[in-house]
A = this chain, B = another copy of it.
């Protein structure tokens, strides 16, 4: 019989159910890990970031009435000054601040934002154009270099900020400015005669437009995002044409290939992840949003291939991506150097954006396992425990040369990690009319609407230090729905009880989610136990930097050895193949954390002598390895660090 009914399970089928994200304001972290990080972000990170924006002259760019001040950042060989996209930085700060305002209004912060908005309003050109660089310095050059100068990228971040601020406060001024700016873009770009067939080399506005579409429901917002995605990488290249218009030779492009911006071929023809890691993952996030809204299977098919390539060839064990500083991005397969890892904080966060969107279309823990991975490791490592120092590059090994900084030459990461932590509640759950999916575990209370019926879910847990999670449901009246619980890929022996009754996981688990369908009652309790033994991980043998080495993981946390604990460089360590780890909670360590200890060996350099090379190996002596969660490294004294430790063969 011919199968002509659609495959309901295929994620790209037009009938497949989509999981809608939950507004993070409906998820409150009540105690423990994420509560402490959100408190830090609210109390320290957001205020100090504003201070930095002032001190570093980022806000000066909004003094539209004054003549331009000297450049705060000089022009690079690429033609770009970091100042070209200062708008994006305060845009992201507004977004982060607004996410916390959703939980708790704050007149002081709002006054600061209102002031920025007032200046933007003054500066915006009558036709809606908005970019502080071009308006003040080179109005005649606006829209002449989408390849290098980040105009739409900056507008995208302002737009995300405006949406967040509107949602947090109901104040419309910023949103109205950005709606006007979007309408201006619509008049300038598109396939119609007289419009520029361009798109920004740094993807961002696409996903911002999808957010806007979800707010406004206006088809033109969706269509603009769709246009940008569809046009990207079409040949002949817009960037070639644009360069020629500027009187430049397109071959002089400093990054040589438009793969740098995922614009070397149409997005649906891209099968391997290439180029700048943040550009790639912002783009893929927008593609996933479009696939979600338009149910376009061709986008989904491309995303699936790109995801498979990235996760099988290009992903650090911490969730970091983009191994090279040269292109801030991807290189050859399996090229994952540790000490020179770029693994930009923004890229890990953007990977989180992408995979969480993938899981909205296809509920599969392959995606959300990576969300958890970056949240606890490769993204969170980007912020110090003091809430006001940062990493841009998240290396997996150091000889002590890497220190957290207060502010960066290109400070895209600080506001990104702030907005990510501030909105993390939005990643914990997603829902359909008759289902709620639980992606992350954290002590929290959430209010979720299923078919207009409220469901409150309370999680009690010491996660990520412990894998015992109790979820209790509070409903006005009993309701038929499914609870999908992510069973983390790192966990071999998960178990579930519902109201004390064991569930056979293999019966109910599909694509890494245990699916509990029943008529739920007020007071129902689900207990999920995720045993967290310390495990050793090995890399594919073609990741040659890690060959002969081992990474230590406990639950969702990657661990590292830091000189601060060892008293000597971790590079001298060798882990015995069989040594057992002991986990203990260190109350005083940077807010409290489980540390791991283990018998180990270390090269004894004291009796090596003065030569560099010898026919004899260094003597090994017994020592104790202490390992701490990777995200907590570089919060104490200067020293070496290693994630991938040498192991006895």
Please list the residues of chain A having a beta carbon within 8 angstroms of any beta carbon in chain B.
Answer: 77, 308, 311-313, 315, 317, 332, 335, 340, 399, 401, 535-544, 547-548, 551, 569, 571-572, 574, 603-605, 608, 610-618, 646, 648-649
- The answer on a CB contact under 8 Å between B618 and A541 is yes
- The answer on a CB contact under 8 Å between B542 and A571 is yes
A535 — which chain B residues lie within 8 A by C-beta?
A: 615
By Cβ-Cβ distance, the 6 closest A-B pairs, closest first, are A541-B603, A544-B571, A541-B618, A648-B649, A538-B617, A537-B613
Cα A576 to Cα B571 with chains together (Å): 22
Given that A340-B340, A548-B548 are known contacts, is A572 also in contact with B542, CB under 8 Å in the complex? yes
Pick from B335, B538, B572, B613: contact of A539, CB below 8 A: B613
A620 shortest CB reach to chain B, Å: 8
A493 shortest CB reach to chain B, Å: 13
Listed by A's residue number, 7 A-B pairs whose Cβ atoms lie within 8 Å are: A77-B77, A317-B613, A335-B399, A536-B615, A538-B613, A540-B608, A541-B604
Q: How many copies of this chain does the complex contain? A: 2
**10 additional contacts, CB 8 Å, given A77-B77, A548-B646?**
A308-B610, A317-B612, A340-B340, A538-B617, A541-B603, A544-B569, A547-B571, A547-B618, A547-B646, A648-B649
Pick from B401, B538, B613: contact of A540, CB below 8 A: B613
- The answer on a CB contact under 8 Å between B572 and A540 is no
Cα A362 to Cα B539 with chains together (Å): 51
A538 — which chain B residues lie within 8 A by C-beta?
A: 613-618
| Complex: chain B residue closest to A648, CB-CB | B649
A571 — which chain B residues lie within 8 A by C-beta?
A: 541-542, 544, 547
Given that A77-B77, A618-B538, A649-B574 are known contacts, is A544 also in contact with B613, CB under 8 Å in the complex? no
- The answer on a CB contact under 8 Å between A615 and B537 is yes
| Complex: chain B residue closest to A573, CB-CB | B547
Cα A541 to Cα B601 with chains together (Å): 12
| Complex: chain B residue closest to A617, CB-CB | B538
A618 — which chain B residues lie within 8 A by C-beta?
A: 538, 540-541, 547
- The answer on a CB contact under 8 Å between B605 and A540 is yes
Given that A312-B611, A617-B538 are known contacts, is A544 also in contact with B649, CB under 8 Å in the complex? no
- The answer on a CB contact under 8 Å between B542 and A569 is yes
Name, among A313, A317, A571, the residue most crowded by chain B CB atoms within 10 Å (CB to CB).
A571
A580 shortest CB reach to chain B, Å: 15
Cα A478 to Cα B502 with chains together (Å): 102
A362 shortest CB reach to chain B, Å: 18
Cα A335 to Cα B611 with chains together (Å): 15
| Complex: chain B residue closest to A535, CB-CB | B615
Cα A540 to Cα B574 with chains together (Å): 15
| Complex: chain B residue closest to A613, CB-CB | B537
- The answer on a CB contact under 8 Å between A539 and B612 is yes
Cα A617 to Cα B317 with chains together (Å): 15
| Complex: chain B residue closest to A618, CB-CB | B541
- The answer on a CB contact under 8 Å between A313 and B612 is yes
A541 — which chain B residues lie within 8 A by C-beta?
A: 571-572, 603-605, 608, 618
A646 — which chain B residues lie within 8 A by C-beta?
A: 547-548
A547 — which chain B residues lie within 8 A by C-beta?
A: 571-572, 603, 618, 646
A7 shortest CB reach to chain B, Å: 23
Cα A315 to Cα B616 with chains together (Å): 18
Cα A614 to Cα B489 with chains together (Å): 11
Cα A610 to Cα B399 with chains together (Å): 32
A340 — which chain B residues lie within 8 A by C-beta?
A: 340
| Complex: chain B residue closest to A542, CB-CB | B605
A308 — which chain B residues lie within 8 A by C-beta?
A: 610
Given that A615-B537, A646-B547 are known contacts, is A610 also in contact with B312, CB under 8 Å in the complex? yes
Name, among A317, A399, A548, the residue most crowded by chain B CB atoms within 10 Å (CB to CB).
A548
| Complex: chain B residue closest to A316, CB-CB | B612
A553 shortest CB reach to chain B, Å: 9
- The answer on a CB contact under 8 Å between B612 and A315 is yes
Given that A541-B603, A542-B569, A618-B538 are known contacts, is A612 also in contact with B312, CB under 8 Å in the complex? yes
Cα A541 to Cα B573 with chains together (Å): 10
A518 shortest CB reach to chain B, Å: 34
Cα A610 to Cα B308 with chains together (Å): 9
A537 — which chain B residues lie within 8 A by C-beta?
A: 613-615
Cα A308 to Cα B609 with chains together (Å): 13
- The answer on a CB contact under 8 Å between A399 and B605 is no
A614 — which chain B residues lie within 8 A by C-beta?
A: 537-538, 540
Cα A608 to Cα B541 with chains together (Å): 8
A366 shortest CB reach to chain B, Å: 10
| Complex: chain B residue closest to A608, CB-CB | B540
A544 — which chain B residues lie within 8 A by C-beta?
A: 399, 569, 571-572
A648 shortest CB reach to chain B, Å: 4
A554 shortest CB reach to chain B, Å: 13
A401 — which chain B residues lie within 8 A by C-beta?
A: 332
A611 — which chain B residues lie within 8 A by C-beta?
A: 311-312, 540
